[in-house]
Amino acid sequence: MADSIKEEPSTTSSPMSQPSPYPMLLIRIMSKRRTWVCLFIAVYTILLSFSWNFLKSVLSWYESTISTSNSPSGWPALYAAVLLGAVFGLLSMAAALAVAVPATMVTWISVLVLLTFCGKPRRTVVVEGKKLTAEISGFVVRILIKEGNIVAALCAVLGYFALVRKNKDGGGDF
């Protein structure tokens, strides 16, 4: 009986052969929904802080330009308004992208699963998936650019009128 039982080779593992627990810990942490919520909040906090500081610096540049110029020209207000519009347009595109990517992925996966369940061969699903990826990506980019341009134009127009009105009223803080 003792002869029929084979001894398994001992698995003495050295520290070099064992995988590090850190990648598994990272995967476990990143798979939690609250981790992504915290990352989302942290990124938007950084973006808002950056935009607030940028807004203050553009307004201080505008104040210094208006106070040093003798002729009341509308060019500094136009420059400041266009710059603010462009920055807030880019920020709105980043915010929309953060919402659009997960929704796009869910749509893409759903369509591919439906194609698979309809009995399409693998090669056809791969070809259709490539077409879908190009079509969905193009559609998302067009919408993001359109929304970013609308926000940029709106911010530029409102900023221009606010700066010109502030300049005519004699200054003051915003």
* Higher pLDDT among residues 32 and 6, named by residue: 32
The residue among 168, 21, 156, 15 whose CA lies nearest residue 83 is 156
Give residue 3's pLDDT.
52
For the chain, how far is it from start to end, CA to CA, in angstroms? 92
pTM of the model: 0.59
CA–CA distance, 157 with 78 (Å, rounded to integer): 9
Q: Which two tokens stand for residue 9?
A: 């080779």
The residue among 117, 98, 97 whose CA lies nearest residue 109 is 117
CA–CA distance, 76 with 163 (Å, rounded to integer): 9
Give residue 83's pLDDT.
86
CB contact at 8 A, 161 and 137: no
Question: Is residue 17 very low, low, confident or very high in pLDDT (cuts 50, 70, 90)?
Answer: low
Give the model confidence (pLDDT) of 111-148 as tens digits.
Answer: 888 888 888 888 888 888 888 888 888 888 898 888 88
Give residue 94's pLDDT.
80
- The chain-wide mean pLDDT, for the chain, equals 77
Give residue 30's pLDDT.
66
Contacts 24+ apart (CB under 8 A), 41-44: 43/98, 44/95
Give the model confidence (pLDDT) of 22-79 as tens digits.
Answer: 677 767 776 777 777 777 788 778 888 888 888 888 888 888 887 887 766 777 888 8
For the chain, which residues make up each domain, given as ranges? 22-169
12 pLDDT above the threshold of 80: no
